[in-house]
Structure 1
Amino acid sequence: MKIFTKLYDWTLRWAEHRLAPAVLAVLTFAESVFFPIPPDVLLAPMVLSKPEKAWRYATLTTISSVFGGVVGYLLGYLMFEPLIEPVLIEFNYMDKFENAMAWFEEYGVWVVFLAGFSPIPYKVFTLSAGFMQMLFLPFLIASAVGRGMRFFLVAGLIKFGGPKMEAKLRNSIDVIGWSVVILAVIAYLVFS
């Protein structure tokens, strides 16, 4: 079943649309606060379709992500009990939030950097940082550096990998897609 190849082709076509940068900014902002899909899924095809704009797209993604992180921080800081905690409980995320809190106590600001750079859900750590009333400036710097490194790395790999990388990716996209789905199901079954 080649569902991921069709999605990949659709995403590549959409990445060339004139509104794609705006959608990338909104997706990135939302992902930093609540949305589950990472912006890399749009950033990569946009860079692939217009490699000369790679650094511009990476900058846009970084700035949008940090703004979203600031909103997550403020929600955790100002609205945790009345707004965030009931949502975490409703969606069975309280254990993830408590794990994030334990990591904060052990590693401090480095957790924000790690969450910003890695596929760990950044949004959980922005809320946690606000709830723990982490100093804002270190939070902002760690977010900007971590997220910037991640998005510039993605943009750079795609820009310099070029058509050869795209051909390899396209040939493997269904295997990658189904592998991610299987890993997500396994992770859900193991950690829930």
Structure 2
Amino acid sequence: MLRTLYDWTLSLAARKSAEWWLAFIAFVESSVFLVPADVLYLPMALSRPDRAYRYALVATAASVLGGIAGWFIGFYAFETIARPVLEFYGKLDAFDALKLSSGTGFILLMLVTSGLSHLPPIKVVTILAGVIGFPLGWFILSAIVARGARFLFLAWLLRSYGEPIRHFIEKRLGLIAGAGAAAVILLYILVRYVF
């Protein structure tokens, strides 16, 4: 199923309405959809490098709005909407484990790491933030910074290096983003428990 969703999302890049699809995918990825918007963003930005930053801004805005929708789902409609979605994707246990260890600082950290590297999946964090009542203003600010940094960094890479960087991004960006997320987590632990 995941491969079918991935292929379908990738096929949207060739359409005239690709920019609208990018906004839609970025929006739903942040609250209910499994495939990241990067799958659509990368081929679009490669085919039109002159629009890479524009696409990054579209993806960022839509992703933040989708995250706000996820927050509202978690805050107002967890049982009716969020629980079935999390069960469908097999993420309910991970969600419950995160909920037990969540405080404001931990949620902020997860918003940054999921925004930068999809660890944990952004939809889980946005819903969790709503469930625990994480302040909406801080939520929006952190989503703008994390998601904006990710898409704008990809735009810069694609504008600077073009097609050769695509294979690097597809194969190694997850590792680099994961290492960056691990560094942020380590910094959080040091600040919180050591200093």
Q: TM-score band (shorter)?
A: 0.7 to 0.9
**Hey, what does 2:146 align to over in structure 1?**
146
**Hey, what does 1:30 align to over in structure 2?**
28
| Bigger-Rg structure (1/2) | 1
TM-score with structure 1 setting the length: 0.75
Task: Look up the SS of the partner of 1:138 in the other structure.
Answer: helix
Distance, in Å, in 1 between the alignment partners of 2:150 and 2:163 is: 21
Cα root mean square deviation, aligned: 2.6
Task: Look up the SS of the partner of 2:90 in the other structure.
Answer: coil
Distance, in Å, in 2 between the alignment partners of 1:96 and 1:31 is: 17
**Hey, what does 2:186 align to over in structure 1?**
none
Q: Write out per-residue CA displacement over residues 110-169 of structure 1, whole angstroms, 9 at most, x where no aligned residue.
A: 221221111221000000000001111001101110111111112221221114335xx3
Distance, in Å, in 2 between the alignment partners of 1:76 and 1:62 is: 21
Q: Write out per-residue CA displacement over residues 50-108 of structure 1, whole angstroms, 9 at most, x where no aligned residue.
A: 11111100000000000000000000000112332244345532211023324532624
- Equivalent residues, number: 163
Distance, in Å, in 2 between the alignment partners of 1:87 and 1:45 is: 28
Letter in 2 for 1:75: I
Pick closer, same or farther for the CA change 1:14–1:72 going to 2, 3 Å. closer
Greater CA drift, 91-100 or 133-142: 91-100
Task: Look up the SS of the partner of 1:109 in the other structure.
Answer: helix
Distance, in Å, in 1 between the alignment partners of 2:88 and 2:50 is: 44
Q: Is the 8 A contact 1:77 1:127 kept in 2?
A: yes
Letter in 2 for 1:145: V
Q: Is the 8 A contact 1:110 1:142 kept in 2?
A: no
Q: Where does 1:48-63 land on structure 2 (aligned, <5 Å)?
A: 48-63=46-61
Distance, in Å, in 1 between the alignment partners of 2:88 and 2:118 is: 23
Distance, in Å, in 2 between the alignment partners of 1:110 and 1:92 is: 23
TM-score with structure 2 setting the length: 0.74
Letter in 2 for 1:134: F
Distance, in Å, in 1 between the alignment partners of 2:64 and 2:73 is: 14
Q: Is the 8 A contact 2:12 2:21 kept in 1?
A: no
**Hey, what does 1:78 align to over in structure 2?**
76
Task: Look up the SS of the partner of 1:36 in the other structure.
Answer: coil
Higher relative contact order (CA 8 A, sep 6+): 1
Letter in 1 for 2:59: T
Q: Is the 8 A contact 2:29 2:66 kept in 1?
A: yes
**Hey, what does 1:99 align to over in structure 2?**
97
Q: Is the 8 A contact 1:100 1:124 kept in 2?
A: no
Distance, in Å, in 1 between the alignment partners of 2:33 and 2:43 is: 19
Greater CA drift, 92-101 or 129-138: 92-101
Structure 1 residue ranges without an equivalent (≥5): 177-192
Q: Where does 1:105-124 land on structure 2 (aligned, <5 Å)?
A: 105=103, 107-120=106-119, 121-124=121-124
Letter in 1 for 2:43: P
Identity across the alignment (%): 32
Structure 2 residue ranges without an equivalent (≥5): 172-195
Q: Write out per-residue CA displacement over residues 14-40 of structure 1, whole angstroms, 9 at most, x where no aligned residue.
A: 535321100111111111111110010
